[in-house]
Amino acid sequence: MAKLNVVGIGPGSLDYVTPAARRTVQDADIVIGAERSLSLFRKDIKGEAVALTAKNVTEILKYAAESVENGKTVALLSTGDPGFSGLLRPILKNAKGKDVEVNVIPGVSSIQACAARLCMCWDEMNLFSFHKGTTVEKKAQLAKAVKEGKDIMLLPDPKAFSPREIASFLIKAGLDKATPVFVCESLTLSDERIVESTLERVSTLDFNALCVMVIKVNQKGDA
């Protein structure tokens, strides 16, 4: 039976693409992903390659589901892990009510890569993602968590809630300006950068869209 495979492709480097992900792409009739994602699999794609963009997401996800219903096996490439701020949620929504079997190939998320770079256990961290939108409610949840003294690991929204804006927001919410902050940028890529600083300093800095932010509420330090 044809499947819609949602394939986690890691944080960006080919070194972090799993053998299972490559095999799934090799066996697919159709491979869908952003141009940067497709480029990781240039030697593996044997079927049709379809570029996914911010403007055609709805159309392409519909095409993916219809292709599976027509007997085609599809590999949909999702940066990081599909289940954490990835493509799994919209795929499940799009496939609902259709004769489509969804199969998930897990990948290394940027959250995992960040924790590894910082040699940090993250099983007790509070995780937030603002990739899918920044609402007043989500901001309130973040402020509540830090006020309760919980360490935070989060994916910023580069346009609406960047690390600079997050730091300013938390300072206004009453968090100590000297609270330690780490920002891991372009993880696993050639321009990877890790910044260790404070809320006060990060509130003046800019980072690219590919970053993870860690706020160590239970630890004080200097810039």
- Tell me the pLDDT of the chain (223 aa) as tens digits: 689 999 999 999 999 999 999 999 999 999 999 999 999 999 999 999 999 998 999 999 999 999 999 999 999 999 999 999 999 999 998 888 888 999 999 999 999 999 999 999 999 999 999 987 899 999 999 999 999 999 999 999 999 999 999 999 999 999 999 999 999 999 999 999 999 999 999 999 999 999 999 999 976 444 3
Q: What is the pLDDT of residue 98?
A: 86
Count of CB atoms within 10 A of residue 186's CB?
Answer: 19
Q: What is the pLDDT of residue 64?
A: 95
Question: Using CA atoms in the order 121, 180, 195, 132, what is the torsion angle rounded to 10 degrees?
Answer: 70
Q: What is the pLDDT of residue 223?
A: 39
Q: Are 57 and 49 in contact (CB under 8 A)?
A: no
Residue 197 CB partners (closer than 8 Å, separation 6+): 180, 181, 182, 183, 205, 223
Name the CATH superfamily housing domain 4-108: Tetrapyrrole methylase, N-terminal domain (3.40.1010.10)
Count of CB atoms within 10 A of residue 134's CB?
Answer: 18
Tell me the domain boundaries of the chain. Answer: 4-108, 111-215
Q: Are 127 and 114 in contact (CB under 8 A)?
A: no
Q: What is the pLDDT of residue 219?
A: 64
Class of domain 111-215: alpha beta
